[in-house]
Structure 1
């Protein structure tokens, strides 16, 4: 089974076109204003119009209020809601029930102790996303170009589908997949020239690096 790719933080038509043409399975649209990758619901709707039905549109939120989620869903046909903040399992379950959308929860990993949090979320999500814990003082919960120790996930299996994120680039993604056996990999900063500015060629290179894995 081919390893899938998620390109997160898409915020311009060229990046969306590159992700679609290269064969991404998921694209992420960021609805968190402090992020340099953030888009408005209207901008996201224009980008979503370029996506084929086979592509999963993922909306990334950080500790969102219901009003923001509703505003986005009115404009954008999201397939998956990605929660990348400190949402407790109860809130994750509530958002999933209220919106009727699939939900993905990002869990920050740095040490083996961080794996304990996964059990509480597994029953209430459709997808798990394992990312590097944000560095001390970082303004963003993800997209910080930081990787974690991939051996934490070695020989591990989960009941729910999962994705690997955190500092993945065209140069290291094959190594990360071989070590973790991740079925899907997620990149944002790893295919950018600078924060918030995607490089279409790096998107193609990242997805190309997964071929044959």
Structure 2
């Protein structure tokens, strides 16, 4: 089983280069000012332009309006839009239609019903789903793990990512329990809040490559 890995919240050339060099399939850029991982449009343009073909570039948005989407998409460096707010299925469909980009909707998970409702509401309108911990002060990147057994045995009809408190130490167990085909990490490869570590990125990607 090949597990794809996404390193989210990248903000420097060195950490983007590390993610690419050590085998990330996806790199993520945050467009949410309250987050310590937020970067400017120009920084996103520069970082994204240096990512080689074959590595997907993801923009993380939280309830974006059309103007923000237009501004970030004008950089030409986003391949996938990650919606991490309270976007309705109708809004997800509208964003996909308006931008022409594939869309991933994040589902916040605390109890089994969250997964069932998320799949029922969004699988028909999103290209991908991501299951993340509901707990935390930010929409994501809170270093919080949810009960992975909630996902065990679930059939999800679109490709999906597992997120929420993943680290080099627990990602193998997380994949074993959930059978996730893709994983997303942000805080789990940081030396400080919002500060990515090249060594932790290397360790995380080495672990996922062995799964």
* Match of residue 123 from structure 1: 124
Q: Choose from 204, 207, 210 the match for 1:209.
A: 207
Shift of 1:76: 3.5
In the alignment, what sits opposite 2:151?
153
Per the TM alignment, residue 183 of structure 1 is displaced from its structure 2 partner at its CA by 0.3
Equivalent position of 1:35 in the other structure: 35
1:144 has 2:142 as partner: yes
More moved, 163-172 vs 49-58? 49-58
Deviation at 1:210, TM superposition (A): 1.3
The structural deviation recorded for 1:178 is 0.6
Superposed displacement of residue 212, structure 1: 2.8
Aligned counterparts, 1:28-67, within 5 A: 28-67=28-67
| Offset at residue 39 of structure 1 (A) | 0.7
CA contact (8 A) 1:41 1:76 kept: no
User: What is the aligned-residue RMSD (CA, Å)?
Assistant: 0.8
SS at match of 1:185: strand
Deviation of the 1:118 alpha carbon? 2.0
2:20 — aligned with what?
Answer: 20
Equivalent pair of 2:26/2:55 in contact (CA under 8 Å): yes
What is the Cα deviation at residue 16 of structure 1?
0.2
Structure 1 CA distance, aligned partners of 2:209 and 2:112? 30
Corresponding position of 2:185: 187
Length-normalised TM-score, structure 1:
0.97
Contact 1:6 1:24 in 2 (8 A): yes
**What is the CA–CA distance in structure 1 between the aligned matches of 2:24 and 2:100, rounded to whole Å?**
24
Which residue is equivalent to 2:71?
A: 71
**Superposition TM-score, scaled by structure 2 size:** 0.98
CA contact under 8 A between 2:48 and 2:77: conserved in structure 1? yes
- CA distance in 1 between partners of 2:120 and 2:53 (Å): 32
CA deviations 1:56-107 (Å, max 9, x no partner) are 0000000000000000011142110000000000000000000000000000
